[in-house]
Amino acid sequence: MQNAIQKIKNPLTDKNIAKQLGLLEEEFDRIVDILGRIPNFTELSMFAAMWSEHCSYKNSLYWLKQLPKEGKHLLAKAGEENAGLVDIGDNLACAFKIESHNHPSAIEPYQGAATGVGGINRDIFTMGARPIAQMNSLRFGNIADKKTQWLIKGVVKGIGDYGNAFGVPTVGGEVFFDESFSTNPLVNAMSVGIVDKNKTVKAIAEGEGNPVFIVGSSTGKDGIHGAAFASKDITQNSVDDLPAVQVGDPFQEKLLLEATLEVIETGAVVGMQDMGAAGITCSTSEMSAKGNHGMIIWLDKVPLRQVDMQPFEILLSESQERMLVVVKKGREEEIKKVFEKWDLNCVQIGVVTKEPVLRYYFYDELVAEIPSDALVVGGGAPVYIREYKEAEYYAKNKSLDQFKVPDIKDTDEFEKVAQHLLAHPNIASKHWVYEQYDSMVRINNMSTNYPSDASIVNIHNTSKALAISVDCNSRYVYADPEIGTAIAVSEAARNIVCSGGIPVAITNCLNFGNPYNPEVYWQFVGAIKGMSAACKKFDTPVTGGNVSFYNQSESGPVFPTPTIGMLGILEDKKLQTSLAFQQIGDSIVLVGKVVDDIAASEYLYSYRNVKHFPAPYFNLDEEYNLHQVIKELIRNSIIKSAHDISDGGLFTTLCESAFPNKLGFEVNKPVDIRTDAFYFGEAQGRVVVSVNKDKLEALKQICQKLNIPYLILGKVIEKSIIIDEKEYGNIDKWLHIYNSTFNKYLD
């Protein structure tokens, strides 16, 4: 290698240049050891991108390996492929994944969010799966701030425009607001696809002499150093990194999807990978390392849309809608014909070599030479265990005496609290958001006219459906990272169970501040521990996902947000259960423990203005047992609706169950519990169900058999809301409050 590299004319580098590219001093030394020489600028740029936090997971990998990754439904383990792959029966598999596009969205919200949607969908169809549904999880600052309004409008429009044009429905998600996200919003996108489990494609390069093609769009200068940009804090100078934000074209991606699925059918594809972070560098190195092969790449053959691009720019460009495809030798023309049909680039830029070394040429000059595994996770990429210590605020959180917080004193204050919560942007209807998304394209969405806690997606030509949920309450995780993350997993599972499904696996998007901050890293470690415990309990292994550190500005880190995307299976579509009350006269029953608890609730945080608190009441064993009760109630056709109690507490749950069919409710609380805790507390492990009086006894027997407490709250009535014998108007009044918030701030 030493003699070959002398042909490279790129200037050599030093530790100062390495530092400017985001590498640590010891990492530069490690690169010199790997290469046996000083790297040139092109090579150093490649290492900087691939060893960035965004690509290498260098500060998280040790802990990620602690997560459960084994499960009876899994067809691919975490990190093995572009996305998780789960056997769903009927010879079908589901590919699914969630990833972040936080930093780009903070600087250029429209393109940042749009390209996040494009990238996650490419991860799905590079495996041979057709995307059938999308979800997202969004975090913003104060909705009253003009900047927040600009960000949310740009992000929502970016997601909507890209997803709608691409032709995949957005079937659900969540939106959360807190001051901690004012500078650094979080934009997490999830995609789900279906594939014949015998026709999946691996992200691998193997077979000496097999040609390597770049397909899709031409390469430009957009997105260069995007991975490095995502691996540092947001500052007032981050706008200078705007060229690092990619530009997407959903119509081009639609063509690429169809061409990709068609070319897979030829049987000529050896391996395929999306060009996401670090572009050609990432796909060539990861595919080669996985196959224990190498490549020769001719960069001057890459189709360009800008003139005078340098080798390092071609290698690191994150231009969208591109793939790297390894093809069986002798079948090149078959591949070319497919992409020509779809009017897409399909150019051979290299060849697979037996020697596990990557060699990149530019007009016959060797510009970089690196061992295949030197750049990648599990190979040469470094792994660190950072210092962590309990956050100073945590002791204060645990010291809260909830009983010193004044209870609601009378019916007037009750109504004031109820209106405050239903109008709060964390609880109010998100129709302003989801109405900008096409939720019905391809007629997969089964939740539009029959709303349920999870999104239900039809699997055509089978009796089954998918149940998908995205969940995380950032405030709970801030209160207690371990418990808060276990709650996120539990709520995702609870939503799937309440909808009639069985949870099978998760993907995660772990959004935290700077990992070199010991208190931030403590939050991250706690989140991993909580996720691990809950996933083991529910038998929902982790199939992969994304870590997004450096979500931090001069004002501090964001609330820790380990977003959970969970996949469930409805074994029979007839099991689909709505959250909506169905019939006047039905009994309303609270299944689960009644707890005197207001910790971490929206009521405590935004109405009482208490900013330090423990996580809400949570018991993992009780949660698991509750799920078994709800499953049995649904499978025995005992209940008509099921809706979990979460943000906003019982009152919000009752309203959300009443709104779809414009029915009312009459309920009463036990005398020995605080009013605020009963109606607005967010203790976990509780579900509100409605049941015909004729089946009430059967419900009681199942709850008693599985040792789960229950409380008959009252009944479904025509249109009024009656609480503790006091009437608070009809359902239309409360529905108007619930529906008005987003229009007030964003129209």
135, two tokens: 């979800």
Contact 98, 509 (CB under 8 A): yes
Q: How does residue 367 score in pLDDT terms, banded at 50, 70 and 90? A: very high
SS (H, E, C) 560-584: CEEEEEEEEEECCHHHCCECCCCCC
Q: Give the pLDDT of residue 238.
A: 47
Contact 350, 293 (CB under 8 A): no
Say whether pLDDT at 240 is over 90: no
Q: Give the pLDDT of residue 276.
A: 80
Say whether pLDDT at 412 is over 60: yes
pLDDT tens-digit profile of 71-101? Answer: 888 998 777 788 999 999 999 999 999 999 9
Q: Is 450 exposed, middle or buried (0-12, 13-18, 19+ CB in 10 A)?
A: middle
More confident residue, 70 or 296: 296
**Conformational region of residue 518, where left means phi above 0, alpha means psi within -120 to 50, and beta covers everything else:** alpha
pLDDT tens-digit profile of 299-309? Answer: 999 999 888 89
Q: How does residue 10 score in pLDDT terms, banded at 50, 70 and 90? A: low
The CA dihedral of 202, 204, 207, 211, to the nearest 10 degrees, is 100
Task: Tell me how crowded residue 175 is: count the other CB atoms within 10 A of its CB.
Answer: 21
Say whether pLDDT at 3 is over 50: no
Say whether pLDDT at 230 is over 70: no
Mean pLDDT for 712-722 is: 97
227, two tokens: 């991975």
Contact 69, 544 (CB under 8 A): no
Buried b (16+ CB within 10 A) or exposed e, 184-211: bbbbbbbbbbbbebeebbbbbbbbeebb
Greatest CA span in the chain, whole angstroms? 89
CA distance 501 to 572: 9
Mean pLDDT for 464-481 is: 97
Contact 498, 452 (CB under 8 A): yes
pLDDT tens-digit profile of 453-471? Answer: 999 999 988 999 999 999 9
Task: Round to the nearest angstrom and report the end-to-end CA distance of the chain.
Answer: 62
Question: In degrees rounded to 5, what are phi and psi of residue 170?
Answer: -95, 115
Bridge partners (DSSP) listed for residue 345: 216
Q: How does residue 221 score in pLDDT terms, banded at 50, 70 and 90? A: confident
DSSP string, 471-508: E--HHHHHH-HHHHHHHHHHHHHHHHHHTT-EEEEEEE
Contact 700, 710 (CB under 8 A): yes
Q: How does residue 222 score in pLDDT terms, banded at 50, 70 and 90? A: confident
Say whether pLDDT at 148 is over 70: yes
Q: Is 404 exposed, middle or buried (0-12, 13-18, 19+ CB in 10 A)?
A: exposed
Active site residue 225: no
Mean pLDDT for 401-414 is: 95
Could you say which of 54, 225, 293, 424 is catalytic?
54
pLDDT tens-digit profile of 613-670? Answer: 999 999 999 999 999 999 999 999 999 999 999 999 999 999 999 999 999 999 999 9
Contact 407, 399 (CB under 8 A): no
Could you say which of 101, 225, 627, 643 is catalytic?
101
Q: Give the pLDDT of residue 294.
A: 98
pLDDT tens-digit profile of 551-586? Answer: 998 889 999 999 999 999 999 999 999 999 999 999
Task: Quote the percentage of the chain above a pLDDT of 70.
Answer: 94
Q: Round the average pLDDT of the chain to a whole number and report it.
A: 93
Question: In degrees rounded to 5, what are phi and psi of residue 689?
Answer: -125, 155
Say whether pLDDT at 241 is over 60: no
Q: Give the pLDDT of residue 71.
A: 86
Query: How far is CA 278 from each of CA 18, 242, 250, 607, rounded to the nearest angstrom?
Result: 17, 16, 20, 45
CA distance 210 to 352: 5
Say whether pLDDT at 236 is over 70: no
Bridge partners (DSSP) listed for residue 717: 664
CA distance 284 to 261: 21
Say whether pLDDT at 244 is over 90: no
Say whether pLDDT at 441 is over 80: no
pLDDT tens-digit profile of 24-52? Answer: 999 999 999 999 999 999 999 999 999 99
Going across the sheet that includes 542-548, the strands are: 455-458, 465-471, 561-570, 502-511, 542-548
Q: Give the pLDDT of residue 235.
A: 56
Contact 517, 51 (CB under 8 A): no
pTM score of the predicted model: 0.94
DSSP string, 601-670: -HIIIIIS------PPP--HHHHHHHHHHHHHHHHTT--SEEEE--TTHHHHHHHHHHTTTT-EEEE---
Contact 645, 593 (CB under 8 A): no
Say whether pLDDT at 117 is over 60: yes
Q: How does residue 239 score in pLDDT terms, banded at 50, 70 and 90? A: very low
Element holding 7 (H helix, E strand)? none
CA distance 132 to 12: 48
Say whether pLDDT at 246 is over 70: no
Contact 648, 682 (CB under 8 A): yes
CA distance 736 to 311: 58
Say whether pLDDT at 443 is over 80: no
Bridge pairing between strands 269-274 and 322-327: antiparallel
Q: Give the pLDDT of residue 5.
A: 43
Cβ-based neighbours of 393, under 8 Å, separated by 6 or more:
612
**Conformational region of residue 700, where left means phi above 0, alpha means psi within -120 to 50, and beta covers everything else:** alpha
Active site residue 73: no
Residue 104: alpha-carbon gap to chain centroid: 16
Cβ-based neighbours of 412, under 8 Å, separated by 6 or more:
none
**Conformational region of residue 62, where left means phi above 0, alpha means psi within -120 to 50, and beta covers everything else:** alpha
Residue that the structure tokens 């360009």 belong to = 304
Say whether pLDDT at 11 is over 80: no
Task: Tell me how crowded residue 387 is: count the other CB atoms within 10 A of its CB.
Answer: 11
Say whether pLDDT at 691 is over 60: yes
325, two tokens: 């495809």
